Amino acid sequence: MGGMGMGIGMGGGSDMGQFIKTGQRVSQSWKAAWQGYCMVNGTGKFDPAGYDSNFISGFIEYVGSLALNDMGGPPPMAMV
C-alpha cells in the first residue's frame, strides 16, 4: 500500500482531491470505483485528504484506462 500521506498540496485540499470529491457527489459509479480503489490499493478510507497526489493520480489513470479500453482504444489521429 502506498500513496498515503498528509501535507500541503495533498489530498482533499488539493485540486485533485476536490476533483475526486466532485466525482463522488455527481456519479455513484465514480464513488463506487473510488471506494473500491481505496479498499484494494489504499487504507480503506475514502476521504481523498488521506491520500497523496500520486495515489489520486493512480486512480485517475486507472479509470481513464478503463474508459479508453471500453471505447475500443484511442480515437484515430485526425488527418491534417
Q: How far apart are CA 77 and CA 37, in angstroms?
A: 32
Confidence of residue 8 (pLDDT cuts 50, 70, 90): very low
- Residues 17-25 have a mean pLDDT of 96
**Residue for cell digits 466532485?**
22
**What are the distances in angstroms from CA 33 to CA 21, 52, 59, 65?**
12, 18, 9, 13
Q: Which residue has the higher pLDDT, 76 or 35?
A: 35
Residue 13 has a pLDDT of 56
Neighbours of 16 (CB within 10 A): 21
